[in-house]
Amino acid sequence: MARSFAVVTDSTADLPGEWRKRYGIEVVPLKVLFGHETFRDGVDMTSDEFFTRLAASTSLPTTSAPSPGEFAEVYRRLAKDHDGCISIHIGAKLSATVEAARVGAESVAGFKVNVIDSQTVSMPMAFLCSVAAECASLEEATAAVEKRVPSCRVLALLDTLRYLEMGGRLSRAQAMIGTMLDLKPLLLVSENAEIKPVDRVRTRTRAIQRMIEFVRGEQPLERLAVMHAQAGDEAESIAKTLRPEFAGLEVPIGQIGCVLGTHTGPKALGLGYIKK
Amino acid sequence: MVAPAKATGVDGQIFKRALLGSLSWLAANHEEVNRLNVFPVPDGDTGTNMLLTLQSAVEDVKESNAAEVSKIAKLASHGSLMGARGNSGVILSQIFRGFARAVEGKSALTPAELAAAFEEAANAAYRAVNKPTEGTILTVAREAGRAAATAASTPDANVPRVIAAAAAGARSAVLKTPSQLQILRDAGVVDAGGFGLQLILEGMLKSVEESEPALAAMAETKRPVSPASQVSLDLPEGGWGYCTEFLIEGNGLDTDLIRGQIESLGNSVLVVGEPELVKVHVHTDDPTGVINLAGGYGKILKLNVGDMSTQHRRILESEGAAGKSRPPRPNGAGLAAVVAGRGLVEIFRGLGVDAIIEGGQTMNPSTQDMLTAIESVPYDEVILLPNNGNVIPAAKQVVGLTKKKVHVVDTHSVPQGVSAVVAFRPERSGLENLKAMKAEAERVQTIEVTHAVRDTRSNGVKVKKGDVIGLINDRLEFAGDDYPDVVKRALGRLGPDSYELVTVYRGEQASDDELARLESEIRSNYPRLEVEVQQGGQQHYPFILSVE
């Protein structure tokens, strides 16, 4: 292996399947719980299986961070053939994962783990991993990732706020959508994993237009991705619109996983990007 | 069967039994802990997370016959670390870790060593957290440790008493958590993680019950005052009622007697205190009755009556949800709207309108009414939405009558008003908002359905008194004899292919059956349109539809 350090992330990065191989990234799964049944995100349950089960389930699932011990196991395994590791995780404001990683790392003596609170979620995390993977040393990777953390954004369109609300991540009031009308909130996960409402609209078509308009105003971008939960066709058409405007960017499409999906619900769309 | 704890101190098997006791007690009560999770907690329910963490700790311990307490503690520490879930679970695992470190190399613990281990467990938990917050499981762990240490320093100290003291210390710390954390106070609950730790210590105490039943019972005496009974947020049958709380100051007050009487007037009753001062908490539909009853015993102090449906909503919506508690808007612009109908008023308020002027079609508000409302808005710039063509002229008059900068968006209908408010952004300037709101209001089509009040001919349509008539954007377009038919034709005229969403605002006169027929008519004729029904509660118009 050319790289002497390992790159670790968690399942909320929505890492496209082939990136694992392309960049050699280790993914630690968070868990989703339906009643007392636990599934490891992306391991025991795919995103598609999750949304099928969600649709049939009468009560909402809950999610849970990996345990410090699970992180420790991964680090211990990686310690065998790496000098160190960068471990990039979902924003501490959104999940206990990064804390678990820190505690887990502490218990593995003699192996350097740089735990990064990405302050974001989904594809921007995946981008940070790819940035790290292309660096020559752990120090260089850490610096390159830390430099980009404040520039990561996720613009999300939720079909309903129900899931985010039930998970306790955001209230309707915070999303400025009141209590009565079924409004589509456009939310921005900005610096420090702060969820800010940026717009509210009544119909999905208008909301998608607004998303595109919003990201145009965020130029110049270093990376850009489209994410979706069971809305592949719409994601594809958004990517098609954006690719010519952001020439030089790959604009990959990411699928929202089980744990993130628990909070976004089905039919969520997102744009994940890193500002230049 | 089992050697009494006080003879041998805490050895491995006694500690194992204590952990099993904790597990079964937490398992029996974890739903109560979950119910305390009324404010956002990352990664699921605290009770479940703690239970799963403890289960994982006990998993490894169960199979071990180790006689040394250090070995069992180490297994528990490792197991809890592996199974830790959620913030409370991670902290719990650190408590076990601290305990294990403190007892390293020991085969059995004296009461003093046990107390020291409890204290060290709390210290380890503090160290594990970046920014320790008081009023949480951390505080509870520390107070439990302190109480244990105090108990251990008495001459007749023994292990069950140290555990009993820790459990009692935890319990009293849990009850104090609302005074330490604003968020708990607002939600009217105690800290869930702290309560979970209390249960774990109580479970340990139950495991030594055989040797000291009296002490174990001590932990039980206060169960009726258990935090979850004060704070259950389940929706009771027949609504929420009012959360009524006060103190009674008097002489020789009998808490049991008062509790018995108040219990007949509500639920979640809590009556505690001393003969001179009693605290009462009750959820009741009749707060006046409760207060009158309590007033017979003494002086009522610190009376607080809260509407629980509002409270519940407020908790769910977090701070700043409604009215005065809304955070100030960065653009310094307020909103006022002319609306009639209970449901519509709520909708406009929910969308952020600061002042509502009651009125509309048949009840046009005066310029003065609007002026008064605008003066009540806590901003110097106000955007006013008349929401009716007949109100627009009076609304425009307001502009010159106040020092405030008033803008009128010419909304001719409720749907236009809703669209305009939806487009309002607190971070955009008043003028930018004005532009966006006008544009949005113009995008929406309005269908209004009512009955003709007289025979007439309008816009080429002949109508007889009592006919159902349909108006599109204020123009009479159709007459017929039933609502669904008129709505179907109106939607057909607009061209349903160019729209996505129909919102039906149901008026006061429309029956459930009429609503159901209207909905099914729209859905079957225009399957591509999404239909949303709102209780508008407006008079005169059985249905108002917004098409966009």
Query: What are the chain B neighbours of A205 within 8 Å (beta carbons)?
Result: 500
Tell me: do A137 and A238 sit in the same domain: no
Q: For residue range B437-481, what is the model confidence (pLDDT) as tens digits?
A: 999 999 999 999 988 877 777 777 888 888 899 999 988 888 898
Model pLDDT, residue A153: 97
Model pLDDT, residue A175: 65
Q: Indicate if the pLDDT at residue B401 is higher than 90.
A: no
Question: What is the C-alpha separation between A50 and A54, in angstroms, rounded?
Answer: 6
Are B320 and B326 contacting, i.e. CB atoms less than 8 angstroms apart? yes
Query: What are the chain A neighbours of B47 within 8 Å (beta carbons)?
Result: none
Best CA proximity match to B373, nearest among B307, B416, B391: B391
Prediction ipTM score: 0.73
Tell me: do A31 and A159 sit in the same domain: no
Best CA proximity match to A181, nearest among B349, B172, B1, B514: B349
Residue B403: strand, helix, or coil: coil
Domain CATH for A269: 3.30.1180.10
Query: What are the chain A neighbours of B98 within 8 Å (beta carbons)?
Result: none
Tell me: do A10 and A134 sit in the same domain: yes
DSSP state letter for B379? S
Question: What is the C-alpha separation between B518 and B534, in angstroms, rounded?
Answer: 13
Tell me: do A62 and A37 sit in the same domain: yes
Tell me: do A17 and A126 sit in the same domain: yes
**Partner residue opposite A202 with nearest CB, options B313, B318, B548:** B548
B39 — contact with chain A (CB < 8 Å)? Answer: yes
Question: What is the C-alpha separation between B281 and B243, in angstroms, rounded?
Answer: 7
Tell me: do A133 and A86 sit in the same domain: yes
- The secondary element (H helix, E strand) that includes residue B508 is none
Q: What tokens were used for B353?
A: 């309108």
Instruction: Decide if A96 and B42 are in contact by the 8 Å CB cutoff.
Output: yes
Distance from CA of B332 to the nearest CA of A (A): 16
Tell me: do A82 and A211 sit in the same domain: no
B40 — contact with chain A (CB < 8 Å)? Answer: yes
Our measurement of the distance from residue B349's CA atom to the centroid of its chain's CA atoms, rounded to an integer in Å, reads: 19
* β pairing state of B381-385 and B333-339: parallel
**Mutation target among A170, A182, A202, A260 for the B interface, most CBs of B within 10 A:** A202
Exposed/middle/buried for A214, CB within 10 Å: 0-12, 13-18, 19+? Answer: middle
Tell me: do A10 and A142 sit in the same domain: yes
The secondary structure of B72-115, three-state, reads HHHHHHHHHHHHCCHHHHHHHHHHHHHHHHHCCCCCEECHHHHH
Q: In which region does residue B449 sit, left (phi positive, over 0), alpha (psi from -120 to 50) or beta (all else)?
A: beta
Instruction: Decide if A63 and B313 are in contact by the 8 Å CB cutoff.
Output: no
Model pLDDT, residue B453: 76
Domains present along chain B, CATH in parentheses: 5-227 (1.25.40.340), 242-317 (3.30.70), 323-443 (3.40.50.510), 446-547 (3.30.1180)
Question: What is the C-alpha separation between B453 and B441, in angstroms, rounded?
Answer: 28
Q: Indicate if the pLDDT at residue A160 is higher than 80.
A: yes
Question: What is the C-alpha separation between A272 and A163, in angstroms, rounded?
Answer: 20
- Which neighbouring-strand residues pair with B304? B245
E-strand spans in A170-239? Answer: 184-190, 194-201, 221-228
Residue B254: strand, helix, or coil: coil
Q: Which domain holds residue A161?
A: 151-275
Sign, CA dihedral B244-B247-B248-B254, equals: positive
Query: What are the chain B neighbours of A180 within 8 Å (beta carbons)?
Result: 343, 346-347, 350, 534
Tell me: do A129 and A242 sit in the same domain: no
Q: What tokens were used for B400?
A: 């010159």
Best CA proximity match to A105, nearest among A129, A86, A80: A86
Tell me: do A21 and A144 sit in the same domain: yes
**Partner residue opposite A202 with nearest CB, options B94, B321, B501:** B501
Q: For residue range A176-234, what is the model confidence (pLDDT) as tens digits?
A: 666 678 788 899 999 988 888 888 888 898 899 999 999 999 999 999 999 999 999 99
Residue that finishes a domain, picked among A128, A148, A168: A148
Question: What is the C-alpha separation between B108 and B3, in angstroms, rounded?
Answer: 13
Q: Report the predicted TM-score, pTM, of the whole model to 2 decimal places.
A: 0.63
Q: Indicate if the pLDDT at residue B236 is higher than 60.
A: no
Residue that finishes a domain, picked among A148, A164, A186: A148
β-sheet with B266-273: strand ranges across? B266-273, B277-284, B242-249, B299-307
DSSP state letter for B388? S
Rg (CA), chain A: 18
Query: What are the chain A neighbours of B317 within 8 Å (beta carbons)?
Result: 171-174, 179
pLDDT band with cut points at 50, 70 and 90 for residue B116:
very high
* Closest chain B residue to A34, measured at CA: B44
Domain CATH for A47: 3.40.50.10170
Residue that finishes a domain, picked among A98, A117, A148: A148
Query: What are the chain B neighbours of A203 within 8 Å (beta carbons)?
Result: 500-501, 530, 548
Tell me: do A144 and A159 sit in the same domain: no
Instruction: Decide if B500 and A171 are in contact by the 8 Å CB cutoff.
Output: no
Instruction: Decide if A65 and B318 are in contact by the 8 Å CB cutoff.
Output: no
Average the pLDDT over B507-517 and give the result. 93
Tally of structural domains, chain A: 2
E-strand spans in A110-183? Answer: 112-117, 152-157
- Within the 486-505 window of chain B, which residues sit less than 8 Å (CB to CB) from chain A? 500-501, 503
Instruction: Decide if B90 and A96 are in contact by the 8 Å CB cutoff.
Output: yes
Q: What tokens were used for A52?
A: 């099928």
Tell me: do A126 and A197 sit in the same domain: no
| Number of Cβ pairs < 8 A linking chain A and chain B | 119
